[in-house]
Amino acid sequence: MKYQSRNILEQFQKDKLDLSVDELHIKYLGKKGLLNQLFKDIKNLDLETKKEAAKEANLLKSKIETNITELRKIGSKTDENLDLTIPVASTKTGNLHPITLITRDLNNFFHYFGFSVGDGPEIEEDYYNFEMMGVPKDHPARELQDTLYILEPEILLRTQTSSIEARKLKERNLPMRYVCPGKVFRNETSNKTNGALFHQYQGFYVDKNVTLGHLKWFFTKTLKHIIGPNVVIRFRTKYYPEVEPGMSPDIQCTFCHGKGCEICKQRGWIEIAGGVMIHPSTFDKAGIDRKIYSGFAFGFGLDRLAMTRFGIKDLRTMFTGKIVYK
């Protein structure tokens, strides 16, 4: 019996390190606990041995009860001193979307040069989306944009974030510098480089003596910042109804390095932006004196910038929720 009592006490000392106070009480002092089992075993002993065994068992029970009482006191003091208002360490729960990363990076870049961030409705009026930007209802350029109408012909899902530019120009708070990131919508079949929903990054600058040279500098500076200092850029003239003249910067395909692949459609180059000088008719409709003010406007494809920067070979993967990129 002495050996059995000693084993129980040794086991109790070990359990104190691993078990809670309540777990200790149940294991040793509960109805089915080790001490109750010990007292049951004593009943089967002869009278002379029973007295000595009962004495040892009661001494063991007293020691364990005293230990458990002390442990409860310590735990109670700890709970009293516990400050539940102390914030716990934060844990990383996810990552920002590539489009969000690119947008924030560009916003910070242009903010350095004095640009504000503008916003506007995604469900837009035909006037701001087309009419003010030099595209009347009978203009052939409308055929290129595959517009999705909410209430034809006046209410539509915006096809370009230049609609935000149109609204800001109407405010005539000159001079003005704005960038306008946002979603745009067109009735297009999705493929690796195009989608029915995609993201544009519109920007414009209106002031006295703004020239094409200013925009070319901004294009070069922006692309080197967002893609890398070694990006290869070329400029070519291109027709846009919203501007006059029009220009587009292309970057050499970073996937094939100009050799031609399915990403660049075997051209070796990717059209990454477009723009140039704001059309005189747009100034007229906004009520801005174009004899005093001039300005440039540009638009980047955020999806293509994200693809280039993060090595994403298919635009559609950015909308699946299973993005893996280097």
92, part of any domain: no
Q: For residues 118 and 232, state if they share a domain.
A: yes
**What CATH number did the domain enclosing 169 receive?**
3.30.930.10
Q: What pLDDT, on a 0 to 100 scale, did the predictor assign at position 204?
A: 93
Helix axes 2-18, 21-29, angle to 10 degrees: 160
Q: What pLDDT, on a 0 to 100 scale, did the predictor assign at position 83?
A: 66
What one-character-per-residue DSSP string does 209-227 give? Answer: T--HHHHHHHHHHHHHHHT
The neighbour count for residue 135, using CB atoms within 10 Å, is 23
Last residue of a domain, one of 80, 113, 129: 80
Q: How far is CA 57 from the centre of its chain?
A: 65
* Structural domain count of the chain: 2
Q: For residues 268 and 242, state if they share a domain.
A: yes
Last residue of a domain, one of 48, 80, 112: 80
What one-character-per-residue DSSP string does 280-317 give? Answer: HHHHHHHT--TTT-EEEEEEEEHHHHHHHHHT-S-GGG
Q: For residues 72 and 164, state if they share a domain.
A: no
257, part of any domain: yes
Residues in a beta bridge with 283: none
Distance between CA atoms of 164 and 124, rounded to whole angstroms?
A: 10
91, part of any domain: no
Q: For residues 119 and 71, state if they share a domain.
A: no
For residue 233, the one-letter residue type is I
Q: For residues 13 and 47, state if they share a domain.
A: yes
Q: For residues 284 and 156, state if they share a domain.
A: yes
Distance between CA atoms of 33 and 40, rounded to whole angstroms?
A: 11
Q: What pLDDT, on a 0 to 100 scale, did the predictor assign at position 169?
A: 92
Q: What pLDDT, on a 0 to 100 scale, did the predictor assign at position 326?
A: 45
Q: For residues 70 and 124, state if they share a domain.
A: no
Percent residues over pLDDT 70 in the chain: 88
86, part of any domain: no
Q: What pLDDT, on a 0 to 100 scale, did the predictor assign at position 55?
A: 79
The half-sphere exposure of 177 on its side-chain side, counting CA atoms within 13 A, is 14
Contacts (Cβ under 8 Å, ≥6 apart) of 218: 113, 203, 296, 298
What range defines the domain where residue 157 resides? 98-319
Q: What pLDDT, on a 0 to 100 scale, did the predictor assign at position 77?
A: 52
Q: What pLDDT, on a 0 to 100 scale, did the predictor assign at position 2?
A: 56
Distance between CA atoms of 277 and 247, rounded to whole angstroms?
A: 9
Q: For residues 250 and 108, state if they share a domain.
A: yes
234, part of any domain: yes
Q: What pLDDT, on a 0 to 100 scale, did the predictor assign at position 81?
A: 61
Q: Report CA Rg, the chain.
A: 37
All residue ranges of the chain with pLDDT < 50 are 325-326
